[in-house]
Each structure stands twice: as C-alpha cells, then as structure tokens.
A and B are shown apart, each in its own frame.
Chain A
Amino acid sequence: MVEIFVKKGARVQYTTVQNWYKTVYNLVTKRAWVEEEGEMVWTDFNMGSKLTMKYPSFFLAGKGARGETLSMAMAGAGQHQDTGSKAIHLAPHTTSTIVSKSVSRGGGRTSYRGLVSISPQARGSKSKVVCDALLLDPESRSDTYPTNRILCSDVSLAHEATVSKIGEEQLFYLMSRGLNEEAASKMIVSGFVEPLIKKLPLEYAIEMNRLIDLEMEGSVG
C-alpha cells in the first residue's frame, strides 16, 4: 500500500520497478491525493510475479491538479499482468494522462484496466488515455477494460488503444542487416517501450533495459 499526499503546488514522481519471482501474487494499492496545482506522476514497471493487479490512482482534489501514470508491463509464460490506472477528477481544470504499454510473449497475458471518473464539479478537465499492446506470438493475449464515468459535460476525454503483433516484415528487415532473431525481437521491444523508458531517471532506465533484455533471453525458439 502506497499513499501519497501532494500539497498545493508540489510535484511527486513515484517510480517502481518490480521483478518478483514468477510465483508471487502481487496485489497492490497505490493512491495519491493531489491538491491545488499539485502534480502526481506514477511510473510503474511490472515484469515479474504470477499475477499483478495494480492500478495506481490519483484523486485530483484541488483546482488545476495534474496526474500522470506511465505504466509498462511485460508478461511471459504463466504470467498475467493486470494493470492500469485510476484518475478521479474532483475539481475544475484538472488534467490526467495515462500511458500504458504492455508486451506479451510465450502465452503471457496483459490487461489494461482503467478508470477515468470526472465529477460534476470538475469543469474544464482533460483526460487522455493511451494503451498500446505488443504481442510477440500468437499464443499471447492482451485485453483492454476502460471505464469512463463522466458526470460533467464541459470536459475533454481521449482514449486510444492499439494492439500490434511483432511483424514478420520487421523481423526480416532487421535480420537482413545481420541481427539474429533474438536480437531483432529485443530491438523491436525496446523501441516499443522507449518512449516510457525515456521518462525514467537514468539509473532506472538502465536497469529496465537490462531487465527487458533478460526477460527476452531465450524467448526465441
């Protein structure tokens, strides 16, 4: 359980990289209360565990408060990463951004589960949700379960979701330049998560890249 109170005008970024054993059930509550002109940023990277259910949330309670979640999940054989975020707009002119990227391979499963709730008094609020999923093989699976509860008409809400498969053509292109199949897949995956990795503090970024490489090792039969 993580609870954060962001006072007026403050900014908090909370970064988590988890790589639990593949037997662990990882059920976590993370929530933040954000006051006037405050900003909360969750960066949340989930690699390990058998099942993760985690939806970092922010209550945008003060006027002009901002919340952002950058979520990355990777699921391999026997894993289910059920992750997402909750944005609860309680005050006028509040802004939320949720970016979720997931990679499924070897029959692994990822889900995006999200809530955007905009209360009647949250006039002029904005919310943007982007979920991108990458599937490395036909056995893997990805689902999106967005909930949007909008009780105010003066708001802007955007939701985008994409699912892509690692393309035979992309692999062939990279392999024709000398990269073997594993190196080529790694390159495609690291390119896919790069926009999120870029937002991490450097030490974490390096660690994440190494973890992804490790997870991808031997993923190509």
Chain B
Amino acid sequence: MLVVKNLHVSVEGKPILKGVDLVVRPGEIHAIMGPNGSGKSTLAYTLMGHPAYDVEKKIITTNKPINTNKYQCKIMLDGKDLLHKTPDERARAGLFLAFQYPVSIEGISVQNFLRQATQTLGLQPKNGVLKFRQKLLHEVKRLGIPEELLRRSLNEGFSGGEKKRLEILQMAVLRPKYAVLDETDSGLDVDALKVVADGVNRMMAKNKTLGIILITHYQRLLRFIKPDVVHVMIDGRIVKSGGRELARELEREGYRKFLISH
C-alpha cells in the first residue's frame, strides 16, 4: 500500500502542495487530474524524493503546542517510511517515476544504463545477460521502439514519443511495486498513446499487485487505461475523488466548477 498523508510541499519557499492525502492499494490505478499549476507534478517529484521539493515534516498552525502526530506528514510504501529516504532508496523500495520530461545523458547507451539499473535493483535473471537481453528485445518490440535506440545515448536527441516509450520500457524492466506516471500522455499522438497504454495494461495484467498513479491533464489517456479512482487536484489539494464517471464529468464541464466551489 502506498500511503500519502497530509503532504505539504513548497518550492523555493512557495507552498505548492497544501495537504494531500492519498492511499493506493496494490493493483489499483489512481488518476490524478487537474489544471496546470495545481501541483500534480510536484506530487510526482516529491514522492520520488527530488531534493528541490521541501516537505514540511511537521505543520505547526498555531503557537500553542499541538498534537503534532495528527499533523505529521507521511509517505509510506508497504509500511516502509519513504519520506526520509533518498531517491535511489525509494527506487529500491519499489517506487518508480515515469518522467514528464526525461533527462538526457551523453555517452551512456540505453542498454548499458538499463543493465546497470537492473543490477543495482538486483533484478538480473540468474541465467545472465543473454536472457536479460532477450526479454529486453521482446519489450522493445512490443513498445514499438526501434532496436537501434538501445545503442544510442540515453534520451539524447530522442523524439518526445521515443522518450515516453523509453520511460515505459524502463518501468517494464525495473518492475516496481508502485509507479507514478507523470503526464506520460502529453505530446503523444493517438497511436503512440495506445502503445504506451498497452504497455501499462500488460504490466498490470502480469503483476496484479502493481499500483499506479496516473497524472494527467486530459481524459484521453483514461480511455485506454481504466482507473479505479479519479482524483481532482486544485491548488495543491485533492478536492474531489470518485470513480471513472468523475473523469467524464471533468471532460464535459472542465475544472471551472471545482475552482469555483473551492
């Protein structure tokens, strides 16, 4: 279970998240929708432990001593505290983030990178490199990634679509327990979107306990990946949660209604 409790986050002194609560159980898909600047990506980065995002560990609202326990913030993965962990420790605990803007690194080929990452996570199959490569090539084909991409420098000169597919490939290879997909749909055409969604659905089918947080701006992606829960995020808070119908409602009426009532 991935538990986020009372998460307050600021960036360069500016409060962005103002108390987010979220529980994702194994096998669940949660969609977080919201307008630009509502704090969706901040949530993604904070979960993964980006150093520029300051988590307020205790919220003191008055000068009087208060029951801090009640206000304390938490990020827990299967009972393990993540809040005080570095990004690599969080990854090793089973968390994955598919980046909205994947970073490029010169001189490191995709395949070398994947090999080192899987070794670090202790995921190399016992019968070695060859098996790993076979599995990798299999995934690559299904995600429609040109094989030659594996030999190129990580994300360097990749198109937007290639980067997003590569994020999903990494997710497939690194086999997390919980994955956050940060606007994986942005900048993808419908065909690419289907391929990416297929990839996610395959992983869900293979690993029934995989929990996913889908961060998205549009309902488009949710036609291909069916969420169990939809949350609406406005101004750093989740203002409404519901089933799939909530996404359709958003599509129809936009975020205005929530902005006003909020």
Contacts and interface: CB of A to CB of B under 8 A. Distances in A.
A188 B153 CA distance: 11
A169 B90 CA distance: 16
A172 interface: yes
* B-side interface size class: 20 to 34
Q: Looking at chain B's contact residues, is the secondary structure mostly helix, strand, loop, or mixed? A: mixed
Contacts of B91: 175-178
Nearest to B92: A178
* A-side interface size class: 20 to 34
Nearest to B155: A173
A187 B154 CA distance: 11
A184 B87 CA distance: 11
Contacts of A138: none
Contacts of A170: 103, 105
Contacts of A194: 106-108
Contacts of B260: none
Nearest to B50: A172
A205 to B, nearest CB: 13
Contacts of A17: none
B88 A178 contact: yes
A15 interface: no
Interface stretch (B28-36, B113-121, B214-222, B240-248): B113-121
B201 interface: no
Given A173-B99, A176-B99, A179-B117, 14 more contacts: A168-B51, A169-B103, A172-B50, A175-B88, A176-B87, A176-B90, A176-B97, A177-B88, A178-B88, A178-B92, A180-B86, A180-B120, A192-B106, A194-B107
Interface of A: 167-170, 172-181, 183-184, 187-188, 190-195
Interface of B: 48-52, 86-88, 90-92, 96-97, 99, 102-103, 105-108, 113, 116-117, 120-121, 153-154, 170, 174
A-B pairs, top 3 by smallest CB distance, nearest first, are A191-B107, A194-B107, A175-B87
